[in-house]
Amino acid sequence: MAEVVMLSDEPSTRRLLRRAWPYLRPHSGRILLALLLSLAESAALVALAPFIGLAVEALTEGDRDRLLTAVALLAGLVVAQALLARFAATTLADAGERVARELRERAAERLAGAPLRFIEAHRDGSLLQRATGEIAELAMFVRTALPNLLGVTATLAFTAVVLLGYSWPLTLVVVAVFLPPALLITRWFAKDAGSAFGAHAGAEATMAGTFAETLDAREELRSAGGMPAWLARFDRDNLAALLTQRRTVVVENRIGAITLVEGAAMAVLLGFGAWLAVGGHLSVSTAVVFVLAGRNLFEGFGDLSQLAGEMQTVRAGLARLLDLLSAGAPEPGGDRPLPARGELLAEEVTFRYEDETEVLRGVSVRFAENAHAGLVGETGSGKTTLSKLLSGLYRPDSGRVTFGGVDLGEASPEEVRRRIALVPQEVHMVSGSVADNLALARGEPGRAEMEAAFETLGIGAFLRGLPRGLDTPAGDLSAGERQILGLVRAVLADPAVLILDEATADVDPVTARSLETALARLRDERALIVIAHRPATIELLPRLVGLRAGALDPRYEN
Ligand SMILES: Nc1ncnc2c1ncn2[C@@H]1O[C@H](COP(=O)(O)OP(=O)(O)OP(=O)(O)O)[C@@H](O)[C@H]1O
């Protein structure tokens, strides 16, 4: 099997910022402004303590003028700090929303262009969780926690500078008492945080996958009585999510131990400060500044520890998102143009799915420019797989598929889509009306073109028979009706080759006749390959290619 890049459940969080930088770069100006505002706000906050010190000094010396000046400056500082805090938070939230939007767009593009094999190898719900839930968490973090994080970090740095400026021996004592145990605790937390939060994100994605499948397979699960067993599986996933979440709480609680260190350091600061002040080595105002600034320092560390858990959740989510953005990259294609019309040729094509059994074994088949042919064979013989190879949705493990002499792997996916269209067995309609769905065809056809396409295919009566014509909600259509619309949508895009995997689901006789009429009308305009199940369709086709257990069936002409 050609290598399918699989997403990792717990992708590495190393050099995360560097890997995320390409998505941040377009917003770097705004981020820089937010950072500067945050720095200014923190500087204003830290400056409060020295100004209070000045006021205390003026008060103890009975200097009224200096006291008034210090109080006025303090009031100005408080207002400035509040305004800066507001500006910093809104600028940062704005930058964060833009980054989240950019990431969401990239994720949507990735999922739209990712190789079909990549999508099929992962559960829908788990991909969706990466592309939506984890980005939402990131946006929430940027809006709420990041302003705090920046503010706290800057406050810590400025406070350290202020403390050093006032008394370096006292600063050294504070640092010696507080820093080593605080760093040890932080390391203890960081040691297991990555795996704990990564496992939790993985377990949540698994649960989202199971949940999405509950909705997708609802009818089968209910009618086959499989819902209780399926719900038991959901319960197991839910329990796994709970257990991984508990582990994150245990790891997160480790950092809470910093509060104990804070208390001890504050006690030492007060005791040592009082001793210095009593001995005349420190003025009362300096002691006041120290106590206030020391509180800032310890509270800052406390806040940081609170944010550490949130940061780890976001790191795990961001790593999983970046993993999706890099792993889901489209297969490298070429830019060779394909001719407008040409022969479609499979040469010695082999193909395996993940379980490594060879589903197609050296299949060679030729479809001329205007060929009309049926592909027949027992269920599981490889017809659908061959149709996906012929339409360029899969790449063969060996051999090649060419159109007009050009290997499909050497043309861009858009070019291949333009020439070869596949209408699958089960046509999915997006929410909206019939017209909304037909408008998705290349060239965005208008209503008149849509109506003309039905008439050209001889099925104008089918359209008129729909309850609200083109405005009928697509969700109301039967499987057969959806397939007719899939066919009309493909024809509107005017491909050179049309491959139809005929619906096996019960199609009522009237719908079946519409489908046959449409197929008969397609004669000679383009190549038509139908994976035919119904005898009436098989009779329509002048040539049949047979498959048997992944190889050409010699009983057919081929
Ligand atoms: N996504 C997949 N992953 C793994 N195996 C697959 C996948 N799709 C198909 N197969 C296997 O490949 C083989 C061929 O399947 P394929 O759908 O091509 O057969 P088919 O002839 O179209 O069958 P049917 O007439 O029932 O639609 C089968 O054994 C099937 O189980």
Q: Are residues 172 and 294 in the same domain?
A: yes
Alpha helix (H) residue ranges in 279-336: 284-327
Asked whether residue 6 is assigned to any structural domain, the reply reads no
Number of domains in the chain: 2
Q: To the nearest whole percent, how much of the chain has pLDDT over 90?
A: 29
Q: Are residues 285 and 388 in the same domain?
A: no
> What's the Rg (C-alpha) of the chain?
34
Q: Are residues 220 and 364 in the same domain?
A: no
pLDDT of the residue at 504:
64
Q: Are residues 277 and 356 in the same domain?
A: no
Residue 297 to residues 158, 159, 161, 163, 328, Cα–Cα distance (Å): 9, 6, 11, 10, 44
C-beta of residue 213 within 8 angstroms of C-beta of residue 231 = no
Q: Are residues 60 and 189 in the same domain?
A: yes
Q: How far apart are CA 341 and CA 495, in angstroms?
A: 9
Full residue range of the structural domain in which residue 502 is found: 344-552
Q: Are residues 187 and 139 in the same domain?
A: yes
Ligand 1 pocket mutation pick from 116, 384, 386 by most atoms within 8 angstroms of CB: 384
Residue 230, φ and ψ in degrees, nearest 5: -70, -40
Q: How far apart are CA 442 and CA 242, in angstroms?
A: 46
**Which residue, 301, 327, 353, sits at the end of a domain?**
327
* Beta-carbon contacts of residue 133 (< 8 Å; ≥ 6 apart): 204, 208, 317
Instruction: State if residue 120 touches ligand 1 by the CB under 6 angstroms criterion.
Output: yes
pLDDT (tens digit per residue) in 226-246: 888 888 888 999 999 999 999
Using DSSP, state whether 543 is helix, strand or coil: strand
Ligand 1 atom 24 nearest Cα: 379
DSSP secondary structure letter of residue 144: I
Q: In the predicted model, what is the mean pLDDT of residues 259-270?
A: 85
Q: Are residues 42 and 106 in the same domain?
A: yes
Q: In the predicted model, what is the mean pLDDT of residues 401-425?
A: 92
Looking up tokens 């008060």 gives 59
Alpha helix (H) residue ranges in 361-459: 383-390, 413-419, 434-438, 447-456
Give the distance (Å) from ligand 1 centre to CA of residue 100: 38
Check pLDDT > 80 for residue 403: yes
Asked whether residue 10 is assigned to any structural domain, the reply reads no
Q: Are residues 254 and 391 in the same domain?
A: no
Instruction: State if residue 387 touches ligand 1 by the CB under 6 angstroms criterion.
Output: no
C-beta of residue 185 within 8 angstroms of C-beta of residue 254 = yes
Instruction: State if residue 353 touches ligand 1 by the CB under 6 angstroms criterion.
Output: yes
Looking up tokens 């050179």 gives 496
Q: In the predicted model, what is the mean pLDDT of residues 350-359?
A: 86
Instruction: State if residue 389 touches ligand 1 by the CB under 6 angstroms criterion.
Output: no
Burial 185-215 (b: 16+ CB within 10 A, else e): bbeebeeebbebbbbbbbbbbbbbbbbbbbe
Write a three-state SS string for 116-143: HHHHHCCCHHHHHHHHHHHHHHHHHHHH
Q: How far apart are CA 329 and CA 307, in angstroms?
A: 33
pLDDT (tens digit per residue) in 475-517: 888 888 898 999 999 888 889 999 999 876 566 777 788 888 8
Instruction: State if residue 379 touches ligand 1 by the CB under 6 angstroms criterion.
Output: yes
**Residue 275 is encoded by which pair of tokens?**
């001793």
Ligand 1 atom 7 nearest Cα: 353
C-beta of residue 542 within 8 angstroms of C-beta of residue 524 = no
Asked whether residue 97 is assigned to any structural domain, the reply reads yes
pLDDT of the residue at 523:
66
Query: If you average pLDDT over every residue of the chain, what do you get?
Result: 86
Ligand 1 atom 9 nearest Cα: 385
pLDDT (tens digit per residue) in 106-154: 888 888 888 888 888 888 888 888 888 888 877 777 777 777 787 788 8
Q: Are residues 128 and 171 in the same domain?
A: yes
pLDDT of the residue at 505:
58
Write a three-state SS string for 429-455: CCCCEHHHHHCCCCCCCCHHHHHHHHH
Ligand 1 atom 5 nearest Cα: 353
Q: Which long-range contacts (CB under 8 A, 24 or more apart) does 457-462 make?
A: 457/487, 457/488, 457/491, 457/517, 457/518, 457/521, 457/522, 458/517, 458/518, 458/520, 458/521, 459/484, 459/488, 459/514, 459/517, 459/518, 461/514, 462/511, 462/514
Burial of 277 (0-12, 13-18, 19+ CB in 10 A): middle
Give the distance (Å) from ligand 1 centre to CA of residue 365: 19
pLDDT of the residue at 506:
60
**Residue 472 is encoded by which pair of tokens?**
């009928």
Written as one letter, the residue type at 90 is T
CA atoms 307, 310, 315, 321: torsion sign? negative
**Which residue, 300, 327, 354, sits at the end of a domain?**
327
Full-model pTM: 0.72
C-beta of residue 513 within 8 angstroms of C-beta of residue 462 = no
pLDDT of the residue at 190:
82
pLDDT of the residue at 488:
92
pLDDT of the residue at 264:
86
ipTM of the complex: 0.97
Q: Are residues 104 and 206 in the same domain?
A: yes
Ligand 1 atom 26 nearest Cα: 379
